[in-house]
Chain A
Amino acid sequence: MPVFDLSSTPLRELNSALHALSKGANDTAFEVVNPRGSHAVAVGIDSPVVVDIKGSVGYYCAGMNDGGTVTVHGSAGPGVAENMMSGTVVIEGDASQYAGATGNGGLLVIKGNAASRCGISMKGIDIVVYGNIGHMSAFMGQSGHLVVLGDAGDALGDSLYEAKLFVRGSVKSLGTDCIEKEMRPEHLEKLAELLEKAGVTDVKPEEFKRYGSARKLYNFNIDNADAY
Chain B
Amino acid sequence: MSYHNPFTPPRKSATFDDHTLAEIRRAAATGIYDIRGAGTKRKVPHFDDLLFLGASISRYPLEGYREKCDTSVTLGTRFAKKPITLKTPITIAGMSFGALSGNAKEALGRGATLAGTSTTTGDGGMTNEERGHSQTLVYQYLPSRYGMNPKDLRRADAIEIVIGQGAKPGGGGMLLGQKISDRVANMRNLPKGIDQRSACRHPDWTGPDDLEIKIMELREITDWEKPIYVKVGGARPYYDTALAVKSGADVVVLDGMQGGTAATQDVFIENVGMPTLACIRPAVQALQDLGMHRKVQLIVSGGIRSGADVAKALALGADAVAIGTAALVAIGDNDPRWEEEYQKLGTTAGAYDDWHEGKDPAGITTQDPELAARLDPIAAGRRLANYLKVMTLEAQTIARACGKNKLHNLEPEDLCALTMEAAAMAQIPLAGTSWYPGKGGF
Residues of A within 8 A of B (CB): 11-12, 15-16, 19, 39-40, 43-44, 46, 58-60, 63-64, 66, 78-79, 82-83, 85, 98, 101-102, 104, 117, 120-121, 123-124, 139-140, 142-143, 159, 161-162, 218-220, 222-223
Contact = CB atoms under 8 A, between A and B. Distances in A.
Nearest to A139: B203
A219 B194 contact: yes
The majority secondary structure among interface residues of chain B is loop
A60 B214 contact: yes
B370 interface: no
Interface string B210-226: 10011011001111100
B14 interface: no
Interface stretch (B90-98, B147-155, B277-285, B424-432): B147-155
A11 B220 contact: yes
A101 B148 CA distance: 12
Contacts of B247: none
B31 interface: yes
Interface residues of B, number: 34
Given A66-B150, A82-B204, A140 B217 contact: no
A40 B216 contact: yes
Contact of B213 (A58, A120, A223): A58
B210 A63 contact: no
Contact of A44 (B144, B193, B220): B220
A106 B271 CA distance: 43
A212 to B, nearest CB: 13
A43 B220 contact: yes
B190 A121 contact: no
Contact of A222 (B31, B205, B221): B31
B288 interface: no
Interface of B: 31-32, 144-145, 148-151, 153, 174, 176-177, 188-191, 193-195, 197, 199, 203-205, 210, 213-214, 216-217, 220-224
Which DSSP category, helix, strand, loop or mixed, fits chain A's interface?
loop
Contacts of B194: 161, 218-219
B247 to A, nearest CB: 13
B195 A121 contact: no
B177 A44 contact: no
Contacts of B205: 78-79, 98
B32 A220 contact: yes
Nearest to B194: A218
B189 A142 contact: yes
27 contacts: A15-B220, A15-B223, A40-B213, A43-B221, A44-B221, A60-B204, A60-B214, A63-B217, A64-B149, A78-B204, A79-B204, A98-B205, A102-B145, A102-B148, A104-B189, A117-B203, A123-B189, A124-B189, A142-B189, A142-B190, A162-B191, A219-B194, A219-B195, A220-B174, A220-B176, A222-B32, A223-B31
